[in-house]
Homo-oligomer: A and B are copies of this chain.
Amino acid sequence: MKGDRITWNTEDEVMFYDTDVGGVVHNLAYLRMIEFCRTKLAMKLGFDLRTMAETEVYPVVVKTEITYRQPARLGDVIETLGWLEDWGRVRFWCAFEMRLKGSESLLISCRQQLAVVQMPQGKPMRLPSVPEN
């Protein structure tokens, strides 16, 4: 990946269903927010949702690494920044950082490796050439 990286930003306001009895956002809720950001980022990389539903060729998550640094709470606005980190022959990596809106302090850092597969067989596909920003 040379030059400007390909990025996407999303925002989520923390709802009741994002929280648990501990009073903070549940660990799975951050991953749902990250999936929203990643899906929009993938659209920018050429993976259109409706085309995927027709062709049944989907990017699938192969690996997730996530670190929970600080908690968010009900009503907080979380900003998620996602970017394409690496683009190989059959797999690519995305990375994500989440912060409270207007804050520099990191809540979450995450990396996900994806492959593109033809469903329902699950056959891995070769990636096209590196997408440009």
Q: A residues near B, CB below 8 A?
A: 13-17, 19-24, 26-28, 31-32, 35-36, 39, 48-50, 52-53, 56, 58, 60-68, 70-71, 73-75, 119-120, 122
Contact across chains for B60 and A32 when beta carbons are under 8 A apart:
no
Complex Cα gap A22–B18 (Å):
12
Complex contact B53–A21 (CB within 8 A): yes
Can you list 29 A-B pairs, Cβ within 8 angstroms, ordered by A? A16-B39, A17-B20, A17-B32, A20-B21, A21-B21, A21-B53, A22-B60, A22-B119, A23-B53, A23-B120, A24-B119, A24-B122, A27-B60, A27-B64, A28-B28, A28-B35, A49-B75, A50-B73, A53-B73, A53-B75, A60-B68, A61-B68, A62-B67, A62-B68, A63-B67, A63-B68, A64-B64, A64-B66, A71-B122
Across-interface contacts of A35 in B (CB, < 8 A): 15-17, 27-28
Interface SS, A side: mixed
Q: Indicate how many identical chains form the complex.
A: 4
Instruction: Count chain B CB atoms within 10 A of each CB in A17, A24, A31 and give the residue with the most.
Output: A17
Q: How far is the CA of A48 from the CA of B32 in the complex (A)?
A: 24
